[in-house]
Amino acid sequence: MADFISGLRISSSGMAAQRMRMNTISSNIANINTTQTPEGGPYRRKDVVFEAMPDGKNFGEVLSTTDPKYDFRRVQVTDVVSDMKAPILKYEPDHPDANPDGYVAYPNINLMEEMTNMIQASRAYEANVSAMQASKDMALSALEIGR
């Protein structure tokens, strides 16, 4: 039963991480033309940082697991970082955010790259859903054997 619960926790952590990644990608796409932010300057592309964490419901479970065979890992979003690439300058002298030379700074966001990342995040989410469904089906089959 412990392995079943661990599998569900690992898959659910993957789903949560991919949901956060999808939200970040959506924010990037939504702000592709944002030339001014409260911080000043154009919007900066954001990306999530994943980290493998030991799977344990609480501190006691982590300490009691000494067998490396059961050192399962779950994924966790540890940070959301801003891309520090230079903005894209476009000559638009009539734009209200144009500099004295007539150039407007736009976010350095590639729509095709963001769409590719979105598809990748969606497929990873779907893979975790499938793993959870398979675990659930195995547990239900095991219960049927006991009847």
What does the pLDDT look like over 27-59, one tens digit per residue? 999 999 999 999 889 999 999 999 988 766 555
Number of helical (H) and strand (E) elements in the chain, helices listed first: 3, 4
- Strands, E, within the chain: which ranges? 46-54, 73-82, 88-91, 103-106
Reported as a single tens digit per residue, the pLDDT across 73-104 is 788 899 999 999 999 999 999 999 999 999 99
Residue tagged 């970082």 (tokens): 81
How much is the mean pLDDT over the chain? Answer: 88
The number of C-alpha atoms within 13 Å of 137 and in the hemisphere containing its C-beta is 6
